[in-house]
Amino acid sequence: MHVMALNASPQRSRSLAMLILEPFVQGLDEGGAEVDLYHLSDLQVGPCLECHDCWFKTPGHCVVQDDVSMLLRKLQAADLCVLSTEIGLGGVSAPLKNLMDRSLPLLEPTMELRDGRSRHKLRQGQSKQRVVLVASCAHWEANCFDLAVAQTRLWCEHTGRSFSGALLRPHAYALPHMMWLGKDTSRVVDA
């Protein structure tokens, strides 16, 4: 199985999201998966210009010259996509939202009914891979993840992917302090 893991935290490997993502990716690797990990902060991922050139002038290709074209090719080749983000005030991080918006070239400008809802048709060659959300948040309440989970589900519905679930870690700021104090964190990271 080929897995594409995307860390969308601006803090890169020092992020709280990586404290949750690393053991998840390690488990996938130990299970025999081939995992490619990308840190969006290392890449150029600009916002969508809403120009729709990817539909009409250069069908299937964004006119913005950055790393998104490469990421979309890798996304289409993966069996599983793991999206990792830290939750600030409710939704996915800005870099991840940019990438979601920039996936418009994967869709046709024409619409269809899919699962009883109007959706853009998928371009030929689209993979129907599964998507998992890995998210951390400073707040204690689990409902702090509701918007990020809803955004990810909706993105999956629009792009023809299957939302397989979410690994959510509230009050993630406690984790590095527990590690620094030498506390056993296996119940958290091995879950």
3-state secondary structure of 82: strand
- Residue 137 φ/ψ, nearest 5 degrees: -150, 150
User: Does residue 124 register a pLDDT over 90?
Assistant: no
Supply the DSSP string of 85-150, one letter for each residue. EEESSSS--HHHHHHHHTTGGGEEEEEEEETTEEEEEEPTT----EEEEEEEESSS-GGGGHHHHH
The structure tokens listed for 168 are 């959510």
Of the pLDDT bands very low, low, confident and very high (cuts 50, 70, 90), residue 180 is: low
pLDDT of residue 174: 59
**171 vs 138: CA distance, rounded Å:** 4
Please report the pLDDT score of residue 69 as a whole number. 94
- Average pLDDT of every residue of the chain: 88
Output the pTM of the full model: 0.89
Q: Which domain holds residue 19?
A: 2-189
pLDDT in tens, 77-105: 999 999 999 988 889 999 999 999 999 99
| pLDDT (tens digit per residue) in 2-56 | 999 999 988 776 777 888 898 899 999 999 999 999 999 999 999 999 999 999 9
What is the count of structural domains for the chain?
A: 1
Integer angstrom CA distances of residue 180 from 4, 12, 26, 183: 30, 19, 21, 8
CA atoms within 13 A on the CB side of 180: 5
pLDDT for the residue numbered 15: 74
What percent of the chain has pLDDT above 70? 89
- Please give the Cα distance from 85 to 87 (Å, whole number): 6
- C-alpha 162: how far from its chain's center? 13
CATH code, 153 = 3.40.50.360
